[in-house]
Amino acid sequence: MESDFDGRSMRERMLAGDLYIADDPELAEHMLRAMDLVEAFNATSARDPRERRRLLTELLGAVGEGTEIRPPLRVDYGGNIRIGARSFANFGLVALDVASITIGNDVQIGSYVQLMTPTHPVDPELRRAKWEAAKPITIGDNVWLGSGAIILAGVTIGENTVVGAGAVVTRDLPANVVAVGNPARVIRTIELDTA
C-alpha cells in the first residue's frame, strides 16, 4: 500500500498515475470549476456557437480549430483533455479525465461514448479507504468511435481505426482496423488506397 504521507499533494499523485484519494479539497475545487463550466456549456443555445467555443476553450486543456462537441458533455476536470482539429463529438460524451485524454485530428465520436481513465484497486481494503488511480487514453487521428462505445483506462487506439457501436475497448487497438464487441476484438483490417 502506498502511503498518503509521501509529501505530494493528492493532485500530484493523481496526475502521476499513482494511487490518490479523490476526496481532497484541492481536487474538489478543480472538479467544481469544471462542473460550473460544463453546466454553462450544456445550457448554451445551438444558435450561439461562439459562446460554446469560448466555454470549451476555458474548460478543456486544448481544442483544435473546427472541432465541435454537442451538449450534453460530462467531464471530471476538463483540463486533462486535449482534442485536435476538425473533430466532432455527438450528444452525451462522457470523458472522465482523471488522467490525460488525448484525441487526435478528424476524430468522429458517436453519441453517448464514454472515455474512462479512472481505475480502482482490486484490493478491497484499498477501495474501502477510498484510494483510486487512473491511466491515460489516446485516440489517434481519423478514428471513428461508434455510438455507445466505452474506452477504458490505459487504452490507445491507432489512427484510422473504427470502433463499432457499443464496443468495450479494454486493450490497445492498432491503426487501420475495425473492432467490435465486448471486449472489442479486431474483425478486419482497413485497406488504405495509396494511389
Active site residues: 120
CA distance 87 to 115: 15
Asked whether 98 and 76 are in contact (CB, 8 A), the reply is: yes
**How far apart are the C-alpha atoms of 14 and 115, rounded to whole Å?**
17
Q: What are 81's strand-pairing partners? A: 101
Report DSSP letters for 36-63, one per residue.
HHHHHHHTS-TT-HHHHHHHHHHHSSEE
Q: Count other Cβ atoms within 10 Å, centred on residue 2.
A: 12
